[in-house]
Amino acid sequence: MAIVVVLAAGFAVLMATDGTGTGWALAAGFLGWFLVVLLRLAPGTLVVTTSGIYHRSLVLEHFVPWNAVVDILAREGTDPWITVKALPLDGTRQRQHTGRLHTFEGQALPFIVARSSWLRANTVPAYQAVKHYYDHPEQRAELATSRV
């Protein structure tokens, strides 16, 4: 899939450099499509539910049930991230938007790696929530109640 996108972008740029209206339309259409996809998926999401942890980034979607979670870690540094160490048990689901191309997050599977650059200001609250409900499984039922 990623190769097709790169080839389509290259084709659109080549046609646009020829100065044809069709080329510019293709380039503008491709750029518009790319921005829509990027803005739809950014920023990333980390959702804590009663049944497990769901993570969506620009390149993949991943769900890990609580019984597969082994540990929760926070990596500090210039590019911090949250790591949910997990086993590849039944109920684990993943969908890679990049196909067979392995990305940073995809290389860590079955672990969930949520970068702070995608979670932005929600990184610390996300880590605190995941860590809290991992350490206190008896409190996960409250995730199913709505607080208004």
pTM for the model = 0.70
User: Are 65 and 96 within one domain?
Assistant: yes
Q: State the total domains in the chain.
A: 2
Based on the fold, state whether residues 57 and 22 are members of the same structural domain.
no
Do 52 and 102 lie in one domain? The reply is yes
Inform me whether the pLDDT recorded for 1 exceeds 70. Answer: no
Query: Closest Cα partner for 86 from 61, 60, 113?
Result: 113
Is there a single domain that holds both residue 54 and residue 120?
yes
Do 64 and 93 reside in the same domain of the chain?
yes
Residues spanned by the domain of 134: 45-144
Let me know whether 101 and 130 are in one domain.
yes
Same domain, 36 and 51: no
For residues 41-70, give the mean pLDDT.
88
Residues 50 and 33 both lie in one domain: no
Give the DSSP letter of residue 56: E
Q: Do 129 and 68 reside in the same domain of the chain? A: yes
Same domain, 71 and 29: no
Q: How confident is the model over 66-122, as pLDDT tens digits? A: 999 999 999 888 888 899 999 999 999 888 765 555 666 666 788 998 888 778 788
Tell me: do 54 and 101 sit in the same domain: yes
Query: Which residues, in sequence order, are CB contacts of 79 under 8 Å at separation 6+?
Result: 115, 116, 117
Determine whether 55 is exposed, middle or buried from the number of CB atoms within 10 Å of its CB (0-12, 13-18, 19+).
buried
- pLDDT for 146 beyond 70: yes
Tokens (6 digits) for 100: 């067979």
Cα separation, 144 vs 31, whole angstroms = 40
Print the SS3 string covering 10-40: HHHHHHHHCCCHHHHHHHHHHHHHHHHHHHH
Statement to judge: residues 89 and 109 lie in one domain: yes
pLDDT tens per residue, range 17-44: 776 777 777 777 777 776 776 666 566 7
